[in-house]
A and B are shown apart, each in its own frame.
Chain A
């Protein structure tokens, strides 16, 4: 222990929380453990050969790619994304409306830099994505949590909550939402709610941050319009990522929004990492421009759909159905289960004994709650492993209930 460092820590440092997944990493790594805890893609879906074809670009353009890149991002990739995302965004966005980032996680940090002062308020789903809460929390944010149901955030509750916060003198900076296949809830915001949210945000003069890492990983039903496409007034920042549609090891994400905020975030990015690696951006571009994004994505979706179905079936087979509720996700990576009569903490301990891991609900709630919730990832394990893990979990639940 080096107290010299501790006395020099910032206040942020004293409050910073490591991710709960990271905290249970040593548990997850125990031999024989089946983990539904992380949020990782399955390595077997990675298009290794297709991705590596792109390395030939180093032959043609190596000198350029090994140099510092522009902070705004590798122009060919931005050009591709502008086309490729047009159906979702409602139009082709211009280069100045887009910033390439080091994964979409960096978008959270950059928007935090641009907007959040300590004590400011952010509206989120309750529960919400943990690393987003942490990123905003690091910038000093407080949270208004809005409950969700099967149609996503119950947006009608926003105005009153915001008015109340404003009456207390708080500055509400933006509404953070994961509209598709929510992490952790698995739910998707209905079209009606999306339209309503845009209207409410406009009325309250609060921008919306639409985080959409899973949006293209849809198993059933039709894609819904993005919030960005529903808003004509430049009040939405959209974040996307290659982590789920290609592979996370590239660390390539992007955000799309009005020029003004994109420019601001770009200047912050300069001070944070200058630019994301032009090499990995170019490799992602080569992969996309060769058509592999479009040909391979359906294979990823098929793989995950099977696993989602496997988990659904295993739930029905192994869990005490009268004690557990869930909504079947139409896409994405996660099941979110509610167990009104089971405390998740003893369940977690029992589950670890039986060698199956998940993430407890609590850390996803910015202002407390989640003692009867668990998040389970289905993309990483095989259907057989999923079945065995859920069987163990069912056993653990019954033992807790029998206590």
Chain B
């Protein structure tokens, strides 16, 4: 008997939706299903031995210290390392009070939303965006203003008009959420010109930017572009980074870099949320970095995934009906975004599951609707053989959908 609880649920509880990806898991876990659904790293790319060596070392050297409560702001040696390591991307070395270590970059979204979002406030985001983030923002009561995208990311030139409209309707916009590199789910990367314009517009309007960059260091082709953070001279950009993709997600270590005022505010909320991120985990990550493993293994991880992306691209060319589907080859990250103007993704999904291949429907990525003819595929997890076979099945499913 649990009737005690339900009548007592709060607003957030009543409107809470579990992640659609999670809900699909029972389908994708059926025996024989090849899944392009989740956004998980390939365990074969984890530097297990190096991590274990680092863990052993730090526990030997610092065991007693790292078992104690840590400061909410994060393990100082890790912050010092990050300050150096991220300097090329951030345009400078961040000070200790400009960095906050978090439980993965998901927590950055939660903490920034604690600090800025009241129910009814708005967040600006790409028209399709990471649904974990919009879910977190929604819990805080946020609604969304969405900006259309193309191969160069968010069409920032549309932003002033959208902001004018919002203002005219009395909407309070609290921040702009963007994934500039190897977007999840769209795979696109924001061009330098758009980055400059975005920072300019944000500065003019006095609206902060949350630059979510979990994939930024996983670039396969071309040159790294300057971060939004580095293009801003007024402290309006909060940058979120993560070890999930450059080391391993099981560490649950991410970070936020930004203006000290907002970092301090987020730290005060973090105190109430989880006191501090596991010092054991932070120290293990630190030692891994400090021993040179991060720099030694990252190129291998990037090579590993570049090969997978290329296999995926080749398989798509071989098996999919080319005239019915379009995509942009991602320069980095984890995802392909497929658009199928004449095929309903939902119907295709059912057919694909019958044929034992899975992807994620486009719709849940669109906070304000859309995506009925689009879907996301992750290329990092499946083996080359699975990729080939999965794509063959998907091509079959597509052709059958078209024949109907």
Q: Which residues of A contact B (CB under 8 A)?
A: 1-2, 4-13, 16-19, 22, 40-41, 43-44, 46, 48-49, 51-52, 55, 58-59, 62-69, 71, 102-103, 105-106, 108-109, 113-117, 120, 131, 134-135, 138-139, 171, 173-174, 205-207, 233-235, 243, 247-252, 258-261, 264, 267-268, 270-280, 283
Is B10's CB within 8 Å of the partner chain A? yes
Q: Which has the most chain A C-beta neighbours within 10 Å: B65, B262, B271, B277?
A: B271
B259 touches A9 (CB 8 A): no
Tell me whether B169 is interfacial, beta carbon within 8 Å: no
Contact A249 B69, CB 8 Å, known A8-B207, A66-B248: yes
Residue of chain A at shortest CB distance from B133: A271
Closest to A275 in B: B252
Q: A5-B265, A105-B272, A249-B68 are contacts. A274–B106 as well, Cβ < 8 Å?
A: yes
Contact B4 A272 (CB under 8 A): no
Q: Is the CB of B104 within 8 A of A273?
A: yes
Among B19, B52, B132, B281, point to the contact of A58 (Cβ < 8 A): B52
Closest B residue by C-beta to A57: B52
Q: Which of A8, A18, A115, A120 contacts B175 (CB 8 A)?
A: A8
Query: What are some 24 contacts across the A-B interface (CB < 8 A)?
Result: A5-B236, A5-B259, A7-B206, A10-B174, A16-B114, A16-B265, A48-B64, A51-B59, A55-B55, A63-B46, A66-B43, A106-B274, A114-B10, A114-B13, A138-B272, A171-B8, A248-B67, A251-B274, A251-B277, A261-B2, A267-B17, A268-B139, A270-B135, A276-B278
Please, which residues of chain B bring their CB within 8 A of the CB of A12?
A: 114-115, 118
Report the separation of the CA atoms of residues A6 and B115 in the bound assembly, to the nearest whole angstrom. 10
Taking A48-B63, A131-B275, A134-B271 as known contacts, 19 extra A-B pairs with beta carbons closer than 8 A to each other, sorted by chain A number, are A2-B235, A4-B235, A46-B64, A46-B67, A51-B59, A51-B63, A51-B67, A58-B48, A58-B52, A66-B43, A66-B249, A68-B244, A71-B22, A105-B275, A258-B4, A260-B6, A264-B9, A271-B135, A273-B110
Residues of the B chain whose Cβ atoms lie less than 8 Å from the Cβ of A261:
2, 5
Are B259 and A2 in contact (CB-based, < 8 A)?
Answer: yes
**A279 near B115 (CB under 8 angstroms)?**
no
CA distance in complex: A139, B64 (Å): 35
Q: Which residue of A lies closest to B172 (CB)?
A: A8
**A18 CA / B302 CA spacing, docked (Å):** 41
Q: Which of A9, A43, A243 has the most CB of B within 10 A?
A: A9
Which 6 A-B pairs rank lowest in CB-CB distance, beginning with the nearest? A66-B248, A247-B67, A62-B48, A63-B43, A273-B103, A48-B63
- On chain A, the residues within 8 Å of B140 by CB distance are 10
- Residues in B with CB closer than 8 Å to A67 are 40-41, 43, 46, 248-250
B30 contacts the other chain (Cβ, under 8 Å)?
A: no
Cβ B252 vs Cβ A277 within 8 A: yes
Is B280 positioned at the interface, with any CB of A under 8 Å from its CB? Answer: yes
**Are B69 and A40 within 8 A (Cβ)?**
yes
Task: Count contacts between A and B, CB distance < 8 Å.
Answer: 282
Q: Does B399 sit within 8 A of A, measured CB to CB?
A: no
CA distance A22 to B106 in the complex (A): 25
Given A115-B8, A277-B250, do A4 and B236 touch, yes or no (CB 8 Å)? yes
- How many Å from the CB of B228 to the closest CB on chain A? 15
B56 interfacial contact with A, CB 8 Å:
yes
Alpha-carbon distance A117/B14, docked complex (angstroms)? 11
Tell me the nearest residue of chain B to A43, going by C-beta: B64
Bound Cα distance A280, B240 (Å): 23
Q: Mark B36-55, 1 if CB is under 8 A from A, else 0.
A: 00001101101011011001
Knowing A48-B64, A52-B63, A66-B46 touch, does A8 contact B114 (C-beta < 8 A)? Answer: no
Q: Which residues of A contact B114 (CB under 8 A)?
A: 10, 12-13, 16, 138
Q: How far is the CB of A93 from chain B (nearest CB, A)?
A: 14
Distance between Cα atoms of A147 and B247 in the complex (Å) = 50
Contact present for B19 and A270 (CB under 8 Å): yes
Asked if B314 is an interface residue, CB under 8 A from chain A, the answer is: no
Flag whether B296 is at the interface (Cβ < 8 A): no
Q: Judging by beta carbons under 8 Å apart, are A206 and B4 in contact?
A: yes
CB under 8 Å from chain A, chain B span 127-177: 132, 135-136, 139-140, 174-175
**For residue A283, which residues in chain B have a CB less than 8 angstroms away from its CB?**
280
**Assuming the A-B contacts A249-B279, A273-B274, are A260 and B2 also in contact, with contact meaning beta carbons closer than 8 angstroms in the complex?**
yes
Whether A267 touches B269, Cβ cut-off 8 Å, given contacts A43-B65, A46-B67, is no
Per-residue contact bits, chain B 332-371, to A (CB 8 Å; 1 contact, 0 not): 0000000000000000000000000000000000000000
Chain A contacts for B259, CB-based, 8 A: 2, 5
Contact A276 B252 (CB under 8 A): yes
CA distance A278 to B1 in the complex (A): 32
| Interface of chain B residues 235 through 258 with chain A (CB within 8 A) | 235-236, 244, 247-253
Which among A243, A250, A259 is the interface contact of B2 at CB below 8 angstroms?
A: A259
Question: Which chain A residues border B307 with CB–CB below 8 Å?
Answer: none
Q: Which of A7, A71, A279 has the most CB of B within 10 A?
A: A279
CB distance from A15 to the nearest CB of B (A): 11
Contact for A279 among B56, B68, B281, CB less than 8 A? B281
B78 lies within 8 A of chain A by Cβ:
no
Given A9-B115, A58-B48, A58-B51, do A174 and B8 touch, yes or no (CB 8 Å)? yes
Give A69 to B40 CA distance when docked, in angstroms: 11
A116:B10 contact, CB within 8 angstroms: yes
Judge if B107 is at the interface, Cβ distance under 8 Å: yes
- What residues of B have a CB within 8 angstroms of the CB of A55 in the complex? 52, 55-56, 59
**B187 CB contacts on chain A under 8 angstroms:** none
Report the nearest A residue to B21, measured CB to CB: A270
Q: Which residues of chain B from 51 to 106 have any CB-CB distance to chain A below 8 Å in the complex?
A: 51-52, 55-56, 59-60, 63-70, 72, 103-104, 106
Inter-subunit contact A106/B273 (CB<8 Å): yes
In the assembled complex, the Cα of A135 lies from the Cα of B271 at a distance in Å of 9
Task: Report Cα–Cα, A233/B269, bound state, in Å.
Answer: 34
Q: Enumerate chain B residues within 8 angstroms of A277, measured Cβ to Cβ.
A: 103, 250-253, 278, 281
A2 to B115, CA, bound (A): 14
Question: Is B121's CB within 8 Å of the partner chain A?
Answer: yes
Q: How far is the CA of A12 from the CA of B269 in the complex (A)?
A: 10
Closest chain-A Cβ to B360's Cβ sits at a distance in Å of: 15
Q: How far is the CB of B50 from chain A (nearest CB, A)?
A: 10
Provide the bound-state CA to CA distance between A71 and B18, in Å. Answer: 12
- Known contacts A249-B278, A268-B139, A64 near B43 by CB under 8 Å: yes
Chain A residues with Cβ below 8 Å from B275 are: 103, 105, 131, 248, 251
A371 to chain B, nearest CB (A): 24
Q: What residue in chain B is nearest A101 (Cβ atoms)? A: B274
- Cβ A271 vs Cβ B51 within 8 A: no
